[in-house]
Structure formats: C-alpha cells, structure tokens
Amino acid sequence: MRLVGLAYVGVVVAVFAAFRVQARTEAPPAVAPPLPPAPTLVAEPLSTTALVPVPEEPAEAVLSEVAQSESPTRDVVAPPAPRRRSYRSRRPRRYPDPPTPADWAPPEGPVRIALQAGHWRADEAPRELSGLKRNGTRWKETPEWEVNLEIVQRAGAILEEMGYVVDILPAVVPPAYRAHLFIAVHADGSNDPNASGYRVAAPRGDATGRASQVASLLAQSYGEATGIPRLPTVTRRMRNYYAFNFQRYEHALHPMTIAVILETGFLTSSKDRRVIMNDPERAARGIVEAVTAFSVTPPPAAVALAGEVSSVTNGS
C-alpha cells in the first residue's frame, strides 16, 4: 500500500514536472504575428480625394501620429490604447513638468526670429523624425521645400534689414531651440484644384501662452499682403506639429519659444501659386508684418530710435 502510494506520488510529480517543462518550452509566447504595413506618410497632392472645399491636412502630423503609436494601428481593428501606454512608459517625457505662461521670459540677446522652411533638408532628419523624409507636397517638378525656402529667405532678408537677428531653419530644428518667435512655413496640396487658402495655427500645448496672439496677427497680415482667402480650419495636425512637441522630440523647440505654423496656400491651386510661387515677396511681407506687429518682437531699429529719443530728452 505504501509502495503504491509512493508510486502514485511519483507519477503525479513526473506528470507535473513534464507539464512544467513543456510550459517552459512554450514560454515566452511565440513572436507576435506580423503587423500590417505602416500607413503611408507621403502627402502626394494627387493621392487623396478631397471633393469638398475642406483641404487635406498637411503631412507633418502623420509623422507625429506614427511616432506616437509606433504601430500601424490607426486603421486597424486592434485597440491601440495598451500599446500607447507601454510606448509612453518606455519613453519618459523630456519635460515632465513643462513651464507655464507665468514662467515665460524672453531669450537673452537681441530679438531673434526663426523662420523654418518646411521640409528643407528633411533628408538630414534623425531617427526620431525619420518620417519627415517622406512628406511634403509638390507642384510638378517643384517640391514644397523650394517654395517655402524662397518665402522665408525673402522674409528673413527684410527682417535683417530692420535689425532683427534671423535664423533660417531647415526641417530639423536644433534641440530645445530658443528664439523670441518661431514661424514654420509650409504649403498645402490637394487633388482638388479648387482647394485654395492659407491657414495659421498655434501649438496645441503652447507653454508660452502667447502663440495664439501671433497666430491672429499673422492670419490677418498674411491675408492682407497676399489676397489669398483664409481657411478657418485649424487642424489637429498643424497644432501637433512635430517641432512644437518638446515633450516627445529632442529636435523640437524649447517650450518657451513662441511658435506658430503657416500654411501659405495650395501649391495645387493656380490662384495660390500666383502668389506663393510667382510673387513670394508678397507672402514674405505678410510674415514680416506679423513679426513687427507682435508686442514681443517690435522692430529693433524702432526700439533703438525710441531709446535715442528718450536719452536726448533726458539731456544726455
């Protein structure tokens, strides 16, 4: 009886051990099934259908969406939430406690204006922004970045003449870049040739509390200078522009840099091209007007002149 009992125990132990061994060989679970292909990042103007006047959104935000989910779950049934959480936990926020508008202070030195030519030198994008290499619109042989660069170079020349310090920035922003004001310049594209208009947006997470003021000024001055109609739609994609996302990207603006993004018009619209491609000086003037009208970035020459006048009246 005792022997039978021992044998019984032995069998149980053996079975249990075998089960454990098998379980162990099965763990960890097999590699996850292959994921469907990533969503396309290309913002080819002719690749999407926009039948309504609402134009397609620029491609930049597609980049940020891909970076956030790190998986092509956007159009897939699988719920993205747990994945996003784990992604966040692997990537700590760069500014866990970002400054607030009360902390805003102008950068040291003379008034510095940054004008970014959207998509310019995007091939230099670091890994965290690799999606940048594949977006931007075009008109025939002219890529968007050429149009953007022409406008910002003209605006920069006028501003320098006025005494501003100007940085013309490429698609990749230096880490934690600081300026008194940053304006990203882009152009839209659509397969609808009637899609026309410019639009301006402030960052969604504006830590300076001043960006919406610049956005209003720019929306007004750009429209007056160019005669292009304003599109009232401010898209989530513009507001989540990668350069504004200081929480996530190393190559982004410092949270205290006041920033806006301007979509100058549609490269696919003959009406808009008349200005942004054929008369970029007008677009440049629209940008300059907003800079000079903004209380944080008055024309340095005017400030110096005011200082001279006050020193004269003080008898020095």
- Residues lying near Zn ion in the complex (CB under 5 A) are found at 58, 118, 186
C-alpha to C-alpha distances, 153 to 150, 184, 226, 253, 285, nearest whole angstrom: 5, 13, 17, 20, 11
Distances (CA, A) of 263 to 53, 84, 154, 219, 233: 16, 30, 16, 10, 11
CB of 58 to Zn ion, least distance (A): 5
Q: Where are the alpha helices (DSSP H) in the chain?
A: 2-26, 60-69, 81-90, 144-161, 211-226, 236-239, 270-276, 280-293, 300-313
- Pick the closer one to Zn ion by CB: 256 or 276: 276
In whole angstroms, how close is the CB of 127 to Zn ion at the nearest point?
Answer: 21
> Residue 143's CB: how many other CB atoms inside 10 A?
18
Decide whether 186 or 251 has the Cβ nearer to Zn ion.
186
Distance CA 85, CA 88 (A): 5
Measured over all CA atoms, what is the biggest interatomic distance in the chain, rounded to whole angstroms?
A: 119
CB of 153 to Zn ion, least distance (A): 17
User: Least distance (Å) from Zn ion to the CB of residue 182?
Assistant: 15
Nearest distance, CB of residue 222 and Zn ion, angstroms: 16
Closer by beta carbon to Zn ion, 112 or else 186 = 186
> Nearer to Zn ion by C-beta: 112 or 199?
199
Q: Is-contact 58 237, C-beta < 8 A?
A: yes
Distance of CA 257 to the CA centre of its chain: 14
Q: How far is the CB of 213 from Zn ion (least distance, A)?
A: 24
Distance (Å, whole) CA 137 – CA 132: 12
Q: By C-beta, is 58 or 299 nearer to Zn ion?
A: 58
CB of 21 to Zn ion, least distance (A): 58
Whether residue 93 contacts residue 272, with contact meaning beta carbons closer than 8 Å, is answered with: no
| Bridge partners for 142 per DSSP | 139
- By beta-carbon distance, which residue lies closest to Zn ion? 186
Tell me the Cα Rg of the chain. Answer: 27
Tell me which long-range contacts 74-80 makes (C-beta under 8 A, separation of at least 24): 74/39, 75/39, 76/36
Which of 238, 256 has the CB closer to Zn ion?
Answer: 238
**Beta carbon nearer to Zn ion, 58 or 203:** 58
